[in-house]
Amino acid sequence: MIFKLEEEHIAVKEAAREFALSRLKEGVIERDTSMSYPTEFVKEMGEMGFLSMMTDSAYGGSGMDTLSYVLAMEEISKIDASCSVIMSVNNSLVLWGLEEYGSEEQKQKYIPRLTTGNEIGCFCLSEPEAGSDATSQRTTAIDMGDHYLLNGVKNWITNGGKATIQLVVAHTDKEKGHKGINVFIVERDWEGVTIGPKEDKMGIRSSDTHSISYSDVKVPKENRIGADGFGFKFAMKTLEGGRIGIAAQALGIAAGAYELAVSYANQREAFGISIGNHQAIAFKLADMALDIEAARMIVYRAAYLKDSGLDYGYASAMAKLIASEAAMKHTVEAVQIHGGNGYVKEYHVERLMRDAKITQIYEGTSEIQRIIISRNVLTGKLELPY
């Protein structure tokens, strides 16, 4: 693995950082407080190619690699994790799945609509009784001949209120277990689709999270993705890539808190010297630097494996686990370093701490990541593919 970024990767990283600092930073506290959806910035991210980074240019995407996507996610997450999760879902869970497994007709019809920022997509897997256990889906899609009849409820859906195109996971034959699950492309304006109230969350508050209910929604047969029974595999493979995006988000949150902590430690004085010169604070910063750099290498490696066409499922689980744990641990430390100032909004670190927590939960909890990793350990599949 090469540890020096190519020029094109550096250009992506710098463009994302400039956008985050010049456009997202001002107003980020107010958006968080009021739970205001960043409509203007989503459109700008589309125009800059950030909403379709790994999508083929033939469908209107940016045609970049996974590492470019990770670098952009990291920089944007340092400033506004709400914007980065909107970006992550559209890139990793919606466009990647459509391009990888959709029919050519589906790709031509739906992908170009999701690349510009005018429209956005969502991935509807979680349910009130089915989160980590995806086989316990209660949403059903009954084969009616020329269409499916979709009924059920999805919750915790990021982009749920704004998304015009939804990828919905549903059981078509419960007796077949995971082999009786399919994924369907559903449009928000179809009859029977109802968007629930916006969730009032602890973190990533300006992102759009809703429940969505389906009541006798007619889904055309041509809107099923893949062969009959392919839905469970679609969901699991899509989440593998999605975890790289959330790992990059967690990495960015941790790195953003670290940068703020270093700056504050150099400026704030106690007992006649900057607090960074007190060993108690200096060692905290050293631990932050160590854990964040370790997480960064594992996240970048997962992206490298994906770009190289190698197995990356366990690597994405490792990346998400280490980055999310570092984000939670070190945003708390950043607040501690800021002292009383860390407890108020204007210093940003309390928001980063709140944002960090969800990275340990969505797209597979930390416990689920440990299950994935341990299974690879016990079956001898954890050998490094170099």
Helix extents (H) in 268-346? 279-307, 313-338
Longest dimension (CA), the chain: 79
363 labelled catalytic? yes
Close Cβ partners of 175 (under 8 Å, ≥ 6 residues apart): none
Handedness of CA 341, 344, 349, 354 (dihedral sign): positive
Could you tell me where the beta strands, DSSP code E, fall in the chain? 121-124, 140-143, 147-158, 165-171, 181-187, 193-198, 209-220, 224-225, 269-270, 273-274
Other CB atoms within 10 A of residue 179 CB: 15
Would you state the structure tokens that stand for residue 206, as one six-digit string?
């300006």
Given a contact cutoff of 8 angstroms between Cβ atoms, the answer to whether 324 and 353 are in contact is no
Lookup result for tokens 């059903």: 140
Catalytic residue among 259, 350, 363, 383: 363
Identify any residues that bridge with 225 across adjacent strands, giving them in sequence order: 183
Q: What is the DSSP-derived secondary structure letter of residue 127?
A: B
Q: Give the residue numbers annotated as catalytic, written as ranges.
A: 363
